[in-house]
Structures are given as structure tokens and as C-alpha cells.
Amino acid sequence: MGRDNWQIIRNRISDDISAGRLEPGMQLPTETQLCQSFQAGRHSVRRAVAALAVEGKLRVEQGRGTFVQAAPLISYHIGPRTRFRRNLMEQGVSPGGEQLSDSIVPASASIALALGLAEGSPVHCLLRQGLADGVPISIGLSWHAATRFPDLARRRAAGESVTDIYRSHGITDYFRKQTIIFARRPSAEEAELLMQHPDTPVLVLQKTDVDATGRPIGYSEAVWAADRVQFSFEATEGRSADA
């Protein structure tokens, strides 16, 4: 191999993944074994593995090794009505989620503005992780008025959907008023929770949901693994919103 050893190694491993010779979840040989297999130096092997990790094809776990990333590509449809579970289930992907933390905090100026509340009003702040076939695809913070939905955190932790919780509080339908999406690099904690390389970008999705009267009922900021999701936008109403 010549001066572009690492690119050759990257391409060969990538081809093995695409062809199914390296299956999702499979552990790669050790660095020493890869050096011997490709007759290359450690620098070339490390650079190739790092490049594939940034591309989302490999996952490097400190103390355990390097694994083929098992991450489905999700086509996520966004419209006036959007639903996490239905988006995934319609693609044959099993949806999941876990509540990582919850607290009641005073609403900051920006959160109060988004929810139509007075600054300092008590709001639920929930941190959740979204899963597709058991693979992390998103982590998100959401805020809801604690006085309007006093039982929201407890019920979300028990696995109830936002739709069912809203319905029990008299909200039979609701809509996505606004969606903002932008890309950035993840924080170290975000990369760890998403099980991705820290140099792989994430997509940040900010949204505000309103009830049938246009009153804000929820605001969230979700961080999505950019190599595991693609968003499409609907021009007409379609689905009931959910988190």
C-alpha cells in the first residue's frame, strides 16, 4: 500500500459492511490484527477506523473494541400533525423511548415566550431518548406548563404518549405550529447518548405544538443523529402529533 493506505483500508471495510460480510453489531478484529491483515501501520488503521466512525458505519467503545454500527435510516415525515411511533412503525421499525430525567423548573425567557407563559412559571423539563429497533436516534428536551399538566412527567415515565396525556386534559387534537431544523456538532454527552462519533454532526429540531385554539401546549428541542434520519415535510395535514 502507498501513501493513501488509510483510504484503501476504509474502502475495504466499508465494502465489507455494504456487502454484509461485516454485519451490524459485529466486532472488528483488534488494531494489531487489522495491521497484519492489511499489511499497514497503526496510523493508517486508526485513521480509517476514525473516518468510518465519523460516517456512522463503525462505533468505537473505549475498553471494548470497534463494532459495526447497527443503525437504521429513518425517513421521518413532518407536517401539521406528526407522530414518532407511527413514523417508525410504518417503516417496519420498532419505536422505543426512555425518560432519562425530569424536573420542574422556572421557565426561562425563551421557554416562557414559546409556551405563552410568564417568565419564571413552573414548567416540566423532560429529557428523553428516542430509539429505533433499539438504536438511539434522538435525544430531546421538552417543556410543558406544570400547572396545566401536573401529572405529565410521571405518566411519560410510565410510557404513556403525549397524545393520551393531552386527551385526558381535554385536548382532543393539536398541531405543530412551527419547526426549525439546523445542524451542529454534538456535545460529548450528546454523542455518548446517541452512540456516535463526536465529529459526526447532529440535526437539531425545535418545535412548538398548539391546541385547536392556537394556544401553545408544548415546546421541545430534539437532537437527532444526522446519519440515521432524513426529514421530509408535508404540505397537508396528516398525522396526530406525538413525542
> Do residue 95 and residue 204 come from a single domain?
yes
Give the domain-ending residue among 25, 48, 68: 68
Instruction: Give the C-alpha distances (Å, rounded to integers) separating 149 from 21, 84, 104, 136.
Output: 50, 21, 11, 27
Q: At a CB cut-off of 8 Å and minimum separation 6, what does 143 contact? A: 107, 111, 114, 115, 123, 124, 125, 126, 218, 219, 220
> Do residue 122 and residue 223 come from a single domain?
yes
> Do residue 224 and residue 130 come from a single domain?
yes
pLDDT in tens, 19-48: 889 998 899 999 999 999 999 999 999 999
Question: Which residue type sits at 226?
Answer: A
Q: At a CB cut-off of 8 Å and minimum separation 6, what does 25 contact? A: 67, 68, 70
> Do residue 191 and residue 116 come from a single domain?
yes
> Do residue 104 and residue 193 come from a single domain?
yes
Q: Looking at the 3D structure of the chain, how many domains does it have?
A: 2
Give the domain-ending residue among 24, 43, 68: 68
- What's the pLDDT at 234? 74
Q: Which regions of 20-161 does DSSP assign to beta strands (E)? A: 58-61, 65-68, 74-78, 95-106, 122-132, 135-145
| 104 in any annotated domain | yes
C-alpha–C-alpha distance, residues 179 and 148, integer Å: 23
Give the domain-ending residue among 37, 68, 99: 68
| 243 in any annotated domain | no
> Do residue 161 and residue 48 come from a single domain?
no
Residue whose C-alpha is closest to residue 164's, from 80, 82, 240, 78: 240
- Whether the Cβ atoms of residue 73 and residue 229 lie closer than 8 Å to each other: yes
**Can you give the CATH number for the domain in which 178 is found?**
3.40.1410.10
Q: In this predicted structure, which of 6-10, 114-118, 198-202, 210-214 has the lowest mean pLDDT?
A: 198-202
| 187 in any annotated domain | yes
C-alpha–C-alpha distance, residues 225 and 30, integer Å: 27
- What's the pLDDT at 93? 86
Residue 243 in this model has a pLDDT that exceeds 80: no
C-alpha–C-alpha distance, residues 40 and 57, integer Å: 21
| 242 in any annotated domain | no
101: helix, strand or coil: strand
DSSP string, 148-215: T-TTHHHHHHTT--HHHHHHHTT---EEEEEEEEEEEPPPHHHHHHHTS-TTS-EEEEEEEEEETTS-
- What's the pLDDT at 9? 94
- What's the pLDDT at 237? 47
- What's the pLDDT at 238? 44
> Do residue 24 and residue 45 come from a single domain?
yes
